[in-house]
Structure 1
Amino acid sequence: MRTAVVLFTRDLRVHDNPALAAACANAEQVVPMFVLDPGLQRLSANRALFLHQSLRDLRETLRTLGGDLVVRTGDPVAEVIKVASEVGAEGIALTADVSGYARRREQRLEQECQQHRISLRLFPGTSVVPPGGVRPGGGGEQYRVFSPYYRAWSAAKWRDEVATPARIVLPPELIIGELPEPPPGESPAAAPGGETEGRRRLTTWLEHVGPYDDLHDDMAADGTSRLSAYLRFGCVSPLTVANAARALDGPGPDAFVRQLGWRDFYYQVTAGFPAISTQAYRKSGDGEWRDDPEALLHWQEGTTGVPVVDAGMRQLRAEGWMHNRARLITAAFLTKHLGLDWREGVRWFFRWLIDGDVANNSGNWQWVAGTGNDTKPYRRFNPIRQAERFDPDGVYVRRYVPELISIPGRAVHQPWRLPDTVRSGLDYPGPLESHRDEAVWLRP
């Protein structure tokens, strides 16, 4: 009887999971498996909690199909080879990924499979179009600019979605393994993990995507999908999301699909440049960064004295998520105004963001810092003008900086300009001193 092992990584779903579908179509017995890597568990409390919630949901779904989720703890390569040998598996199926860690895992697994005479197959599933699925002319390995990539991405033939397996049969006498209790997260308002919740949110989002083109930068409206964490862990298929939005008419769905194109763009960038979290993609933009631990701490804690920056940083800690416009503003403030190294921002966001993945977190940080794929690397974001444009009534700021809730209108964006009699009653700091002539932009 043919047996296959499916090693889940960042594809924690049964709907449109090519690796799982192929294993079930070609083997009579299938072992769905996840390995808890202690090294990765230490990286982020928020992501660890979301992961455990997603694994519990995946296990329940697999059980409804007759299977289960086999759980082990340790080195993923060693553990999956061990289980494959125990059940006499002929093959291992794995969804391909682009980070340096994932690529090393794939290479090690391939070597072990060759030694044990086990077939290893990699499948798409972490992006709409696999990295390398579209390439620039002239023999280039990757697109460096988004617009031509997006044109090629939009014109490409996307793969067909695959159905959920009708049934999964486990090998007999296989030790399933227990999932440990979920670890505590750090963000009290974090979204719950799991495919069930992700698909529910997708259904709800598709009913509200119409005005996305107008609202996705409106910080107070909160008019974005909030699906990023579910995409990061593969609780929902990016292809399913893209197809569902593409089937709808209007500028809102089109604008949303474009954001999925941006996500894929950074995946193909990272596939060609796996050091994206630590090395500048564009070396000439990696200037001399200041060393200012005190300023960094104020930025991390949301006490810079610039309300829109502080609101974004406090949302990050409260929810394990931040509005995309706030991500741009806070990242630009750290790098272009405080002059601090973008890698500090990458690390801090990785600690808190549930949706933090190597490709998009690091790629976007480099874009803002001027070391990445931005065609205008020297652009600056004026945080005050950004706030007045995308949070004109200060609703977003007051939501996360309650010290300013009594300040009316746009005055909330520049509290240091209020009369001293008003400022004296505020428990809120003035703006940080900077070595970059802050007076030019803080007091327009």
Structure 2
Amino acid sequence: MRTSIALFTRDLRVHDNPVLHAASAADRCIPLFVVDDAIISSAFFNANRASFLTDSLTDLDAALRDRGGRLVVRRGNPVDEVARVVREHDVTEIHVAADVSRYARRREEALRELAADLHVHDSSINAVPPLSLTPSGGGDHFAVFTPYFRKWETVHRRGVLPPPRRLTVPELGGDVPELRHGTPSPDLAEGGETVGRKMMTSWMHTGVADYADVHDALADDATSHLSPHLHFGTVSVTELLNGVGTATEGAQAYTRQLAWRDFHHQVLAARPQSATRDYRTRHDRWRHSEHDLAAWRDGRTGYPIVDAAMRQLAREGWMHNRARLIAASFLCKTLYLDWRLGAQHFIDLLVDCDLANNQMNWQWVAGTGTDTRPNRVHNPLAQAARYDADGRYVKRYLPELAQVDARHVHEPWKLPEAERDALDYPPPVVDLAEAADRFAAARGLRRHR
């Protein structure tokens, strides 16, 4: 009798899951998730991800029960817990998704030592595995996105796999726990494949067509909001790409954004030290200012577009992509504070925080990463005028400015003194012109006024 383990990692779904699809062909299948103590005790695990993970595991368990099975959840070292299940139930094969992180590779090596055949399937994280594409001129990875994307587009993607109809799971303990890790954001989105698939279907049918035109409009919030589901694997990036297609300009623009995820994964896979060190150093001598850092974290910089972004992060555990660029540029280039401080704050709160995308996006904005224009600055006033002209995004997250007219909502310091003094809102923490001069001097640039 064949008995398999489907070891779930970041693929918490039953649809289009290569691991579960293969493991369910055995006579008996044990769907197993191990709450990894090394991960949940790390600085990378936060209250928002704990809540979303609990939702996702609960939903996965329900989907497996609908098919005659259940999710078995253990806690501890994943290899030790898998080994225990292998011994107790005469497991003959183990199925797991590929991953390129050093931690995952060590886990895979240890699993190969167990008394069961190990089958490593296509990554559930990426459409194209991180180390599978290399430049034709040599090198272990692409350092610039555009040539990577041209090659990425040519890769043949597998078809979408159906969920198993029925599962036979042996009797064994291990129910889904409620993972508590502090207090989550008050407006945190719900996790789980059921929610994710509804969002994905709606996005394919009604959202993505206009993506190219409206994705940067902050108040419209017209993005897919699927990034947490992609991070936890409650939706399949392969199914998403296949469903979106490339027939519209919006679909093409959205596909390009999904390719950026794979691009950052291949950069970090090739240069793992870039998680904490500059990918391309600019020899920055970053400022140290607890006051300015606290103002940025708390959404009290005096620049409403920046503060709205930071308040959205605190309230929802998520932030609009354009807002992420604005907030990150303000920290690194306007306040000239170390990008690692901002990256850690995002790690502390973002539900969709993926190490590769978080760190490499921060480095891109800081000019220490793969950006071919490392000294560009996202001026918060220019960004506000372009992407939140009427101030609706700012007013949504800064109630103290809700009654300020659109002419002044992005520059409340220009209000008459009596009106300005009545607001519970701080003056700007820095003058933009002075900040630009400081950044230019730090990077050895000429400033043209």
Q: What is the Cα deviation at residue 53 of structure 1?
A: 0.4
| Identity in percent | 48
Matched residue, 2:227: 228
Match of 1:83 among 68, 85, 96: 85
Match of 2:188 among 181, 187, 190: 190
TM-score, normalised by the number of residues in structure 2: 0.93
Matched residue, 2:19: 19
Q: What is the Cα deviation at residue 438 of structure 1?
A: 3.3
Match of 1:121 among 119, 122, 137: 119
Q: Give the stretch that moved more between structures: 344-353 or 137-146.
A: 137-146
Q: What is the Cα deviation at residue 37 of structure 1?
A: 1.9
Quick check: 2:142–2:267 contact (8 Å CA) kept in 1?
Answer: yes
The answer to whether the aligner puts 1:147 opposite 2:151 as a matched pair is no
Change in CA separation of 1:362 and 1:2 when aligned onto 2, cut-off 3 Å: same
Q: Which amino acid aligns with 1:234?
A: G
Q: Deviations over 1:305-335 (max 9, x none)?
A: 1100000000000001000000000000000
The answer to whether the aligner puts 1:390 opposite 2:387 as a matched pair is yes
Matched residue, 1:423: 420
Q: Deviations over 1:48-86 (max 9, x none)?
A: 000000000000001111111111011112111211222
The answer to whether the aligner puts 1:322 opposite 2:324 as a matched pair is no
Matched residue, 2:331: 334
- Aligned pair count reads 433
Matched residue, 2:363: 366
Q: Which amino acid aligns with 1:265?
A: F
* Distance in 1 (alpha carbons) for counterparts of 2:39 and 2:111: 21
Quick check: 2:244–2:251 contact (8 Å CA) kept in 1?
Answer: yes
Quick check: 2:8–2:31 contact (8 Å CA) kept in 1?
Answer: yes
- SS of 2:112's equivalent? helix
Match of 2:255 among 248, 257, 262: 257
Quick check: 2:297–2:345 contact (8 Å CA) kept in 1?
Answer: yes
The answer to whether the aligner puts 1:7 opposite 2:19 as a matched pair is no
Quick check: 1:93–1:121 contact (8 Å CA) kept in 2?
Answer: yes
Quick check: 1:48–1:185 contact (8 Å CA) kept in 2?
Answer: no
Q: What is the Cα deviation at residue 226 of structure 1?
A: 0.4
Quick check: 1:338–1:436 contact (8 Å CA) kept in 2?
Answer: no
Quick check: 1:270–1:276 contact (8 Å CA) kept in 2?
Answer: yes
Q: What is the Cα deviation at residue 98 of structure 1?
A: 3.3
Matched residue, 2:55: 53
* Distance in 2 (alpha carbons) for counterparts of 1:358 and 1:188: 24
- SS of 1:339's equivalent? coil
Q: Which amino acid aligns with 1:51?
A: L
Quick check: 2:93–2:119 contact (8 Å CA) kept in 1?
Answer: yes
Q: Give the stretch that moved more between structures: 311-320 or 407-416.
A: 407-416
Matched residue, 1:178: 175
Matched residue, 2:446: none
Q: What is the Cα deviation at residue 286 of structure 1?
A: 4.8
Match of 2:95 among 85, 93, 96: 93
Change in CA separation of 1:439 and 1:233 when aligned onto 2, cut-off 3 Å: closer
Quick check: 2:329–2:365 contact (8 Å CA) kept in 1?
Answer: yes
Q: What is the Cα deviation at residue 435 of structure 1?
A: 10
* Distance in 1 (alpha carbons) for counterparts of 2:105 and 2:325: 33
Q: Which amino acid aligns with 2:366?
A: A
The answer to whether the aligner puts 1:268 opposite 2:304 as a matched pair is no
Quick check: 1:2–1:89 contact (8 Å CA) kept in 2?
Answer: yes
Quick check: 1:388–1:410 contact (8 Å CA) kept in 2?
Answer: no
Alignment RMSD: 1.8
* Distance in 2 (alpha carbons) for counterparts of 1:112 and 1:265: 28
Q: Deviations over 1:98-148 (max 9, x none)?
A: 33xxx324324423532x332222222211111123221123221111111
* Structure 1 runs not aligned, ≥5 long: none
Quick check: 2:71–2:176 contact (8 Å CA) kept in 1?
Answer: no
Matched residue, 1:62: 64
Q: What is the Cα deviation at residue 381 of structure 1?
A: 0.8
Matched residue, 1:161: 160
Quick check: 1:13–1:195 contact (8 Å CA) kept in 2?
Answer: yes
Q: Give the stretch that moved more between structures: 202-211 or 229-238.
A: 202-211
Q: What is the Cα deviation at residue 182 of structure 1?
A: 4.5
* Distance in 2 (alpha carbons) for counterparts of 1:112 and 1:409: 59
Q: What is the Cα deviation at residue 421 of structure 1?
A: 2.0
Q: Deviations over 1:167-187 (max 9, x none)?
A: 21113x322x12223436421
Change in CA separation of 1:438 and 1:414 when aligned onto 2, cut-off 3 Å: farther
* Distance in 2 (alpha carbons) for counterparts of 1:391 and 1:440: 26
* Distance in 2 (alpha carbons) for counterparts of 1:169 and 1:95: 21
Quick check: 1:332–1:381 contact (8 Å CA) kept in 2?
Answer: yes
Q: Which amino acid aligns with 1:319?
A: E
* Distance in 2 (alpha carbons) for counterparts of 1:11 and 1:386: 36
* Distance in 1 (alpha carbons) for counterparts of 2:217 and 2:84: 51
Change in CA separation of 1:325 and 1:279 when aligned onto 2, cut-off 3 Å: same
* Distance in 2 (alpha carbons) for counterparts of 1:417 and 1:438: 19
